[in-house]
């Protein structure tokens, strides 16, 4: 699926673009390709519509990045989703569980991962952008305690 040299190159890029320390290759997350149905089952079993656009996620307990099996990892655009998740790996290795401990930390973690993803795309001559809507969102007053299941809403609502 993806070679170790590509993984190491992406980890170095994730570190350089995020400012987070690099980690040894043996500490990198495993990567597994799964179907959209599996993504929904694992991430949004009670609210499947919440995962309709999800193409990748990092599972901390399994130290595994799960990628949608339709991604073309020969494509820089699709590879950027793996890079995004690698930023979360680096965040976790530096800060531990706090990166997804509450809504504010989750949003902060996502903003950095999207910023790195977008820099990577631009550095490779692509103008696709992801995650820009987070700049216009805030955490809802009511949150579900489940890790990673945050509720955000447009800033104008508050």
Confidence of residue 147 (pLDDT cuts 50, 70, 90): very low
As a whole number of angstroms, the distance between CA 13 and CA 9 comes to 6
The count of domains in the chain is 1
What pLDDT sits at residue 83? 98
Residue 150, pLDDT > 70, answer no
CA distances from 143 to 6, 24, 82, 101, 104 (A): 38, 35, 28, 12, 11
Total-model pTM: 0.89
What is the extent of the structural domain holding 117? 4-157
Higher-confidence residue of 114 and 156: namely: 114
Q: How far is CA 3 from the centre of its chain?
A: 20
Q: What is the pLDDT of residues 68-89, one digit of tens each?
A: 999 999 999 999 999 999 999 9
As a whole number of angstroms, the distance between CA 17 and CA 12 comes to 8
Considering 27-41, 43-57, 144-158, the range whose residues carry the highest mean pLDDT is: 27-41
């Amino acid at each position: 699926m993806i070679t170790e040299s590509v993984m190491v190159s992406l980890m170095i890029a994730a570190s350089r673009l995020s400012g987070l320390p690099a980690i040894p290759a043996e500490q990198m997350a495993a990567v597994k390709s799964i179907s959209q149905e599996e993504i929904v089952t694992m991430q949004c079993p009670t609210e499947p519509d919440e995962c309709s656009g999800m193409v990748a996620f990092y599972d901390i307990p399994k130290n595994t990045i799960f990628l949608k099996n339709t991604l073309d990892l020969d494509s820089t655009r699709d590879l950027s989703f793996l890079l995004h998740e690698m930023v979360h790996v680096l965040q976790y290795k530096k800060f531990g569980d706090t990166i997804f401990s509450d809504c504010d930390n989750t949003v902060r973690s996502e903003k950095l991962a999207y910023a790195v993803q977008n820099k990577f795309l631009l550095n490779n001559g692509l103008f696709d952008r992801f995650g820009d809507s987070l700049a216009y969102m805030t955490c809802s007053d009511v949150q579900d305690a489940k890790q990673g299941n945050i509720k955000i809403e447009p800033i104008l609502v508050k």
